[in-house]
Amino acid sequence: MTDHDDTRPHMPLGLALRGYTGVIQHLSTKDTGSALSDIELESRLIELGFVEGARVEVLHEGLVGRDPIAVRVDSITIAVRRREAMAIIVA
Amino acid sequence: MEAPLLHLALVGTPNSGKTSLFNALTGSRQKVANYPGVTVERKEGFFVTPLGRQVSVVDLPGTYSLRGRSPDEEITRDFVLGKASGEIVPDLVLCVADSTNLRLTIRLLLELKRTGRPMILVLNMFDIASRRGITVDVERLAKELGVPVVTSIAVRKGGTADLLALTDEISAKLASEPQENSWRALSVSELRATQREADRIIADCVSLPARPDTWTARIDAVVLHPVGGLIVLALILFVMFQAVFAWAQPAMDLLKSGFDALGELVKATLPDGLLQSFLQDGVISGVGSVIVFLPQIILIFLFILLLEDFGYMARAAFLMDRIMGGAGLHGRAFIPLLSSFACAIPGIMATRVIDNKRDRLTTILIAPLMTCSARIPVYTLIISAFIPAKDVWGFINLQGLVMFGLYTTGIVSALAVSFVIKFFMIRDYAPAPFMLELPDYKMPRLKSIAIGIYTRAKMFLQRAGTTIFSMMVLIWFLASFPQPPAGSTEPAIDFSLAAMIGKALEPLLAPVGFNWQIAVALIPGMAAREVAVAALGTVYAIEGGKEAAEQIGQVLATKWSLATALSMLAWYIFAPQCASTLAVIRRETGSWGWMAVTFTYMLVLAYAASLVTYNVAVALGAG
Ligand SMILES: Nc1nc2c(ncn2[C@@H]2O[C@H](COP(=O)(O)OP(=O)(O)O)[C@@H](O)[C@H]2O)c(=O)[nH]1
Ligand SMILES: [Mg+2]
């Protein structure tokens, strides 16, 4: 499988549907609408393993508005709201 | 010369097995009870190493970094840095890692190293890692990290032997001069850099077959299904309440006949009079009528601890996040609220995991509306006296169904109150982020469940022995004095202080259908809800003679109308009948104001609910 090459379009993880797999390209915490400050949000995402190069897969979605999502990040599973996941740019 | 006490601290990410390790090391030599949901209390335990060194160990709240984003994480940071007031700086920090998931812990460890504290990396859950084919080059890892590394299996007998040996070895050569602390909060780029460094070290020392836990994936396919998951959650809660009501019965009957026999024994041995009345009506039937509920309390804690240990609680938070979000609650509030079904006190303390102040406050305010186990005695008594024990649709017990309805009403009201708070009191509300690790499922461990239940049962019995006992003595006194004049024909209690107090309150409570006996029982019920049952027992026993005490349920059925009984149930859903809960609210919010708000709003709701229930029931002919 060569689906993680540079030709894949970049998109926020917050828009990904169940079953999506990709690799984190970078974090962009501007204008996500999260209650956290940009720096705080970025720090927390990093602390939970959302760093450049990590493989992600959207495993589950909630009932209301497909939110929150359960994301496999390398070897662990993290639940996040889509609003915060908008800061994670994947391809 | 005796070596001084060695101080250890357990630090690690949530679910890495800190509490299990703590239990394995210290057994039952622990100083503070652990509450379900999260490690909210400072728990200290003691043990002796193989070489005879006395050790104290503290189980700290889980954290991903030392930044201290929540009150819980601040405890951990301050403790490790030696800044916590009245605490000793730990001599040795045990950084506990889940071996199947090293990335986040190794990053945390690199941050911890900057504090200069001596440290050991404990690769816990090594059994699971081996089973999954993960291999770790322990020596190389220790060299790269510059920290001793040891493997451990917290839940297996002897699984901490290597850790104990290493502790002995290290403690023998611990430097006594203070080390340099160069820790400060990491910037975003430093965080990234440490994570890269951690990932590089892991790549060098750990081989990870790409084989995730298939069991977890399979269970989650059902349990986290958008619709199926909610059905499973509802089923779990439903089974839990049916179980608490039905399964506990035989054990409760046994306890009850035990206390009855004891009462009879006292009656037969002692001459009639005050002492006999005090022991039989005040002490034995009073305290006994509360202790009878021990089986139900054990069962509800059993369920909560099992779900917690299994790893389901985080899933429940995931499922409920948006649904609770609609009512202005954070998904993380689910765990504290679920704990509140056992008791609001651990529930309110567990809100410390919610890092946003407002979310936390809302959760604290509504936690007492969750049906705590102290309401069970009251509900059980009234339900079994007034609701027929028949089956509906062939398999559901009607009494269990009513119980379920009471719980549901509590939950729905809590959501409604939270909704109101969101709209009227806290306007500039921005939802705090929900970010939570969903740990792999684990088989619950008999030992940790047993320790958990044991500490709760002990707390309950201690309460029965102290608060409840003293309240019962007070009630008995109020109901027995002054004694009736010689030759009077009315029941003795009519002359007592209790009757005077009750009758003074009666006009206030008459609109909701409460008689003066209930008014008397409600007052000591402020100390602890379950006392109301015992108080009613005492009041009616002194009023109606010995037979009444043994059959309080049947007495109520003849003395109360169905409307009064239903009104009493409605009252108990809402009433702020618990002094300890109010005290904890004051402590956790740091404000008398919020305590007063809680008390007032619950009292208003209780009165309104009872008023409506009573009048509707009377109008329908149940008066
Ligand atoms: N198989 C296995 N399970 C463990 C081990 N240590 C802890 N657990 C389980 O992992 C779960 C979380 O442990 P806990 O001690 O509550 O983690 P804490 O959040 O760090 O306190 C529980 O279900 C434990 O039974 C271990 O060494 N091996
Ligand atoms: Mg713990």
Q: For B72-81, what is each residue's pLDDT tens digit?
A: 788 888 888 8
Contact A34, A40 (CB under 8 A): no
Return the pLDDT at B219: 95
Q: Residue A79 forms beta bridges with which residues?
A: A70, B436
Q: B330-342 burial, b if ≥16 CB within 10 A, otherwise e?
A: bbbbbbbbbbbbb
Q: State how far the Cα of B490 lies from the Cα of B580, in Å rounded to an integer.
A: 38
Which of A55-69, B30-44, B328-342: highest mean pLDDT? A55-69
The DSSP 8-state label assigned to residue B615 in this structure reads: H
Among B25-29, B141-145, B283-287, name the one with the lowest average pLDDT.
Answer: B283-287
Q: Which residue of A has its CA nearest to B315?
A: A79
Return the pLDDT at B57: 94
Return the pLDDT at B598: 93
Q: Is B160 in the pocket of ligand 1 (CB under 6 A)?
A: no
* CATH number attached to the domain at B6-212: 3.40.50.300
Q: Cβ of A76 and B103 within 8 Å?
A: yes
Among A25-34, B201-210, B296-305, name the one with the lowest average pLDDT.
Answer: B296-305
Return the pLDDT at B34: 37
Q: State how far the Cα of B221 lies from the Cα of B216, in Å rounded to an integer.
A: 8
Beta strands in B84-155 (DSSP E): 92-98, 119-124, 135-136, 149-151
Q: State how far the Cα of B8 lies from the Cα of B168, in Å rounded to an integer.
A: 12
Q: State how far the Cα of B421 lies from the Cα of A90, in Å rounded to an integer.
A: 38
As annotated, the residues of chain B forming the CATH 3.40.50.300 domain(s) are 6-212
Rounded to two decimals, what is the model's pTM? 0.80
Q: In what order do the strands lie in the sheet with A21-27?
A: A11-12, A88-90, A21-27, A55-61, A69-73, A76-80, B435-437
Q: State how far the Cα of B389 lies from the Cα of B395, in Å rounded to an integer.
A: 12
Residue having the nearest C-alpha atom to atom 26 of ligand 1: B125
Q: In what order do the strands lie in the sheet with B6-12?
A: B43-48, B54-59, B6-12, B92-98, B119-124, B149-151
Rounded-to-5 percentages of helix, strand, coil across chain A: 20, 30, 45
Pair of tokens at residue B59: 């189980």
| Average pLDDT of span A7-14 | 90
CATH code of A34's domain: 2.30.30.90
Return the pLDDT at B210: 66
Among A12-16, B229-233, B339-343, name the one with the lowest average pLDDT.
Answer: B339-343
Q: Is B95 in the pocket of ligand 1 (CB under 6 A)?
A: no
The length of chain B in residues reads: 623
Return the pLDDT at B327: 82
Pair of tokens at residue B215: 């069991």
Q: How many domains does chain A have?
A: 1
B100 at interface of A, judged by CB pairs closer than 8 A: yes
Residue range B105-124, pLDDT digits in tens: 999 999 999 998 999 999 99
Among A31-40, B111-120, B292-301, B410-419, name the one with the lowest average pLDDT.
Answer: B292-301
Q: State how far the Cα of B209 lies from the Cα of B496, in Å rounded to an integer.
A: 77
Burial status of residue B50 (CB atoms within 10 A of its CB: 0-12, 13-18, 19 or more): exposed
Residue B225: list chain A partners with CB under 8 A: 60
Amino acid at site B160? T
The 10 Å Cβ neighbour count of residue B183 is 17
| Average pLDDT of span B485-494 | 71
More confident residue, A51 or B73: A51
Residue range B540-591, pLDDT digits in tens: 776 665 554 456 777 788 888 999 999 999 999 998 877 778 877 887 787 7
Share the mean pLDDT of chain B.
84
Q: Residue B124 forms beta bridges with which residues?
A: B98
Return the pLDDT at B571: 94
More confident residue, B278 or A79: A79
Return the pLDDT at B202: 95
Q: State how far the Cα of B422 lies from the Cα of B329, in Å rounded to an integer.
A: 9
Q: Cβ of B321 and A81 within 8 Å?
A: yes
Share the mean pLDDT of chain A.
89
Residue range B146-202, pLDDT digits in tens: 999 999 999 998 899 999 999 999 988 876 666 678 888 889 999 999 999 999 999
Residue range B234-248, pLDDT digits in tens: 899 888 767 776 787
* Angstrom distances, CA of residue B1 to CA of B4, B90, B92, B168, B174: 9, 22, 21, 16, 17
Q: Which of B226, B356, B433 sits opposite A61 (nearest CB)?
A: B226
Res. B317: pLDDT tops 70: yes
Res. B325: pLDDT tops 90: no
Give residue A24's domain range. Answer: 2-90
Q: Cβ of B319 and A81 within 8 Å?
A: no
Quickly list DSSP for B339-388: HTTT-HHHHHHHGGG--SHHHHHHHHHHGGGS--TTHHHHHHHHHHHHS-
Q: Three-state DSSP class for B477? A: helix
